[in-house]
Chain A
C-alpha cells in the first residue's frame, strides 16, 4: 500500500501539539525539512528528543515549538555551543532531561525491543544519575552486581531521512546509521523523507541495506535535499560553513528571528529552500561519486 504523501500532509496528520518527537540522525541525514515544516505549521509544547539536538532543535526551540528537550550532547558539532538551547536552559525557560550518548541510545534500543528498560555497566560517577532520577540501578540476578538502568524511550513520532525508500516505506540508508533504526522501531508513528523514491525492485535488489521495513512506516515523502545543512552520504556534503555561520547568527535573538522568517516562514517547502540556496552553495556541496562494489545475492 502506497504511503506516499506530501511532507506538509504527513506533518499535519502525524505530528500533534504536545507530542514527543525524535528527529533521528547522528550528524548525518538530520531531517531539517521536516523540522522546518513543523515550525511552519506552528506546533507547540513538543518534547524534542535527540542525542545531539543540533542546529535543528536550536531552530525549533527558537520558533517556540518546544517545552522540553531530552538530549545527551547539546553542542553545535565541531563548532561550540548551541546558543538558543543553552540560553533557554540557563534562563530556566526550557525543561530538560539529560543523558550520556550511550544512555540515550540504550533508551531507544529498549523502546525498539519492547523492553521496559535496559541495563548498562556503571561509569564510576553518579553525578548525572543524581541530577536525572530516570537513571536507576538494577541488580544483575546472576552476579549480584549493581548495574545502571535507563527506561525505554518511546517517541510519539520518529522522523527519518534516507537516501531512498519505496512507496510502501521500505527504507534504505548507507553511511552513518546512527540511531535511526532504534528510533523508528521505538516510535508509535514514523515519517520517512527520502532523496529518492524508488521502485520496490530496487529495494529488493539489496535487502541487507534496508534499515526500516514498510510495516513500521506511517508516511513516505519525496523530499530531495531535506537534510541540508546536514548531509546525505553520496548525495551532498555537510554545509560546515553554515554550521559556523549559525554560531554567529544565533548569538542574537533578532537575527535568529530574521533567519526563521527568511528561510522557514518565507518559503513554501524544501524545493524553494534549495533553489534559494543558489548555485554557489549547490556547487560547493556537490559530491564526487565513489561507488561500492556490487554484491551477488544469487538467483534462487
Chain B
C-alpha cells in the first residue's frame, strides 16, 4: 500500500510507545500516533492531555487539545495547574511529544520565534506546554518533516530543552526528564549519541543517507549500524484511514 509522509511519521512514532506508558499527548500527528498505539501494541497506554484530561478514550479525532470527546469517558478531569504540577512536574509522565519550527543538533526545540526575540522575523505560537514537557517527561519524541530550515545547527530560541550544548549540560541543569530519545522525520529516525548529538540511526524504505544529510543543517553523522524501518503495515494504515482520521485532516499531507 502507498502511504503519505504524515502516515509514515505517525506509524513510526506509534511504534516508539510502550504498553503501559503514561503519555502527554499533543494535537495532530502525536495524537494519532498515541491512538494508533493504543489500538495496536499498547492497549494499556494512558493518554493525558494538557487541558487536564487523564485517561482519555476519544471516540473521534479531536481537532483541538481541549475537545469534548476527550472528556466523555475519561478516567479523570483536573485543573491545568494540577496536570502540570501534580502529573508533569511531579514526574508521573513517561512520554511527551514535541514539535517545533526548529530542532537543533542537540535536540533543543524552538516553538517561539525565528529571528531575534525582540525583532521577530516569524512569530510562532510559543511554548504552550513544551518547555515543561521537554524538561520533565521521562522520554520525549520529536516529530517533524526533514527539511534543512527545520534542522539548524542551533535554534534561534530554545523553547524546550534537549541536551542544551551537549555533553553533561542537560544533567547539570538539574531537570528531571531524560530528554529527547528520538526524532521521527519523513526520511528516518535520529537519536542522540552519548553526548546528546542527534545522529541518523534509521532510514525509511527507499530513503537515502544523502537525502538526510542534504536536509540537515549540521554535518549529520550516521550510526555504524544504520537500520531500515519496517514499512507501514496494511493494518496500521487501515486504522489510521478508516478509524482515526477518516477525513484525512492530518494524514493527507506529503
B219 interfacial contact with A, CB 8 Å = no
**Per-position contact with A for B116-131: 1 when CB-CB < 8 Å, else 0?**
0110101101111111
How many contacts between A and B, using CB within 8 angstroms? 170
**Contact A176 B129, beta carbon cutoff 8 Å:** no
B253 interfacial contact with A, CB 8 Å = no
**Per-position contact with B for A124-168: 1 when CB-CB < 8 Å, else 0?**
110110010000000000000100000000000000000000000
Further pairs besides A98-B127, A101-B50: 7, Cβ < 8 Å = A71-B126, A102-B85, A123-B160, A127-B112, A128-B127, A128-B131, A176-B71
A residues within 8 A CB of B66? 26-28, 77, 176, 178
Shortest C-beta distance, A228 to chain B (Å), equals: 13
B27 interfacial contact with A, CB 8 Å = yes
Instruction: Name the residue of chain B whose CB is nearest to the CB of A211.
Output: B79
Shortest C-beta distance, A139 to chain B (Å), equals: 13
Instruction: Name the residue of chain B whose CB is nearest to the CB of A240.
Output: B63
Chain A interface residue bracket vs B:
35 or more
What is the CA–CA distance of A204 and B170 in the complex, to the nearest angstrom? 51
A210 interfacial contact with B, CB 8 Å = no
**Contact B72 A290, beta carbon cutoff 8 Å:** yes
- Contacts A101-B127, A128-B127, A175-B77: A123 and B68 contacting too (C-beta < 8 A)? no
What is the CA–CA distance of A105 and B17 in the complex, to the nearest angstrom? 29
- Residues of A participating in the B interface, judged by any CB pair closer than 8 Å: 26-28, 51-52, 71-75, 77-79, 81-82, 86, 89-90, 98-103, 105-106, 108-109, 120-125, 127-128, 131, 145, 174-179, 181-182, 231, 233, 237-238, 240, 243, 287, 290
- Contacts A72-B127, A121-B176: A90 and B77 contacting too (C-beta < 8 A)? no
**Contact A123 B65, beta carbon cutoff 8 Å:** no
What is the CA–CA distance of A122 and B78 in the complex, to the nearest angstrom? 23
A residues within 8 A CB of B215? none
B residues within 8 A CB of A181? 79
- Contacts A123-B132, A231-B68: A238 and B63 contacting too (C-beta < 8 A)? yes
B217 interfacial contact with A, CB 8 Å = no
**Contact B64 A100, beta carbon cutoff 8 Å:** no
- Contacts A102-B88, A179-B81: A122 and B68 contacting too (C-beta < 8 A)? no
**Contact A102 B64, beta carbon cutoff 8 Å:** no
Q: List 11 A-B contacts (CB under 8 A).
A: A73-B129, A75-B125, A75-B128, A77-B63, A90-B120, A102-B84, A122-B135, A125-B134, A127-B112, A177-B78, A243-B63
**Contact A178 B80, beta carbon cutoff 8 Å:** yes
**Contact A123 B161, beta carbon cutoff 8 Å:** yes
What is the CA–CA distance of A208 and B80 in the complex, to the nearest angstrom? 18
How many residues on the B side are at the interface (Cβ–Cβ under 8 A)?
54
A residues within 8 A CB of B123? 74, 86, 89-90
**Contact A101 B78, beta carbon cutoff 8 Å:** no
Instruction: Name the residue of chain A whose CB is nearest to the CB of B172.
Output: A124
**Contact A89 B63, beta carbon cutoff 8 Å:** no
A residues within 8 A CB of B251? none
B240 interfacial contact with A, CB 8 Å = no
The A-contacting residues of B in range 79-130, CB under 8 angstroms, are: 79-81, 84-85, 88-89, 108, 112, 117-118, 120, 122-123, 125-130
Instruction: Name the residue of chain B whose CB is nearest to the CB of A126.
Output: B158
What is the CA–CA distance of A98 and B85 in the complex, to the nearest angstrom? 19
**Contact A123 B51, beta carbon cutoff 8 Å:** no
**Contact A240 B68, beta carbon cutoff 8 Å:** no
User: 6 closest pairs, A vs B, by CB?
Assistant: A27-B66, A124-B161, A75-B125, A73-B128, A78-B64, A123-B135
A residues within 8 A CB of B27? 77-78
What is the CA–CA distance of A238 and B71 in the complex, to the nearest angstrom? 13
Pick from A52, A90, A109, A125: contact of B81, CB under 8 Å: A109
Shortest C-beta distance, B178 to chain A (Å), equals: 12
Instruction: Name the residue of chain A whose CB is nearest to the CB of B121.
Output: A90
What is the CA–CA distance of A131 and B159 in the complex, to the nearest angstrom? 11
**Contact A102 B126, beta carbon cutoff 8 Å:** no
What is the CA–CA distance of A77 and B120 in the complex, to the nearest angstrom? 21
Most interface-central of B66, B71, B120 (chain A CB within 10 A): B66
**Contact A102 B134, beta carbon cutoff 8 Å:** no
**Contact B67 A27, beta carbon cutoff 8 Å:** yes
**Per-position contact with A for B161-174: 1 when CB-CB < 8 Å, else 0?**
10010000010011
**Contact B51 A176, beta carbon cutoff 8 Å:** yes
Shortest C-beta distance, B59 to chain A (Å), equals: 10
Pick from A79, A122, A231: contact of B173, CB under 8 Å: A122
- Contacts A89-B120, A124-B170: A100 and B129 contacting too (C-beta < 8 A)? yes
A residues within 8 A CB of B118? 131
Shortest C-beta distance, B204 to chain A (Å), equals: 26
Instruction: Name the residue of chain A whose CB is nearest to the CB of B49.
Output: A176
